[in-house]
A and B are shown apart, each in its own frame.
Chain A
Amino acid sequence: EPEVTQTPSHQVTQMGQEVILRCVPISNHLYFYWYRQILGQKVEFLVSFYNNEISEKSEIFDDQFSVERPDGSNFTLKIRSTKLEDSAMYFCASSGTVYEQYFGPGTRLTVT
């Protein structure tokens, strides 16, 4: 069964450093998303991406964040200058129909 994959599973970085989180969505899906989940809290939307551009973004997704689909399979989230409060689980999701969104296993980002 096709699934969303994410790398790395765990990333530790120092405050102010740049990180890139990688995702391989389910092939033939057209809609891509990044969500994050701070420990013990609900899943929060960051950004959606369709047709090679951002469709919608939340207030969390400020100028420090960017997304890219560098080739036909990868979908990346970059945080330019990490802050302590960026520590969270980051989930990539993809959808073929806008409705059913399938989530990856997540990347745990720890900013020290």
Chain B
Amino acid sequence: GENVEQHPSTLSVQEGDSAVIKCTYSDSASNYFPWYKQELGKGPQLIIDIRSNVGEKKDQRIAVTLNKTAKHFSLHITETQPEDSAVYFCAALRPGNTPLVFGKGTRLSVIA
């Protein structure tokens, strides 16, 4: 089955700096890669996603890149703000009605 590895497990950045979180997946059939932000005591919130027919997608300060050959994808947050502090999870999905497979999460702390 699919396995998703996520690094780093914790990340601290100064406000205004960029943050990058990386994930690798094992199943080459996976074709959808969402990123979720989870704040304390809340459910995962979908913030951006990318499908396998696209190499990069951007939404304001957030971007995701995908390298299908290497089977890895990354989340990039620019101009970080204290409210970006949260746990970020990457996930992968195979075609069909299949479950999301999550990485272990990255705790991002943005220091003001």
Could you list which residues of chain A lie within 8 angstroms of chain B, going by C-beta atoms? 4, 6, 31, 33, 35, 41-45, 48, 50, 55-56, 58, 91, 98-106
Contacts and interface: CB of A to CB of B under 8 A. Distances in A.
Contacts of B99: 33, 35, 45, 48, 56, 58
Contacts of B96: 98
Q: Which 3 A-B pairs have the closest CB atoms?
A: A45-B99, A103-B43, A43-B102
Interface residues of B, number: 22
B32 A99 contact: yes
Contacts of A99: 32, 34, 49, 51, 93
A102 B98 contact: no
B43 A101 contact: no
Nearest to B97: A55
10 contacts: A33-B100, A42-B89, A42-B102, A42-B104, A56-B97, A91-B43, A91-B44, A99-B49, A101-B100, A103-B45
Contacts of A48: 97-99
A4 to B, nearest CB: 8
Nearest to A9: B41
A79 to B, nearest CB: 19
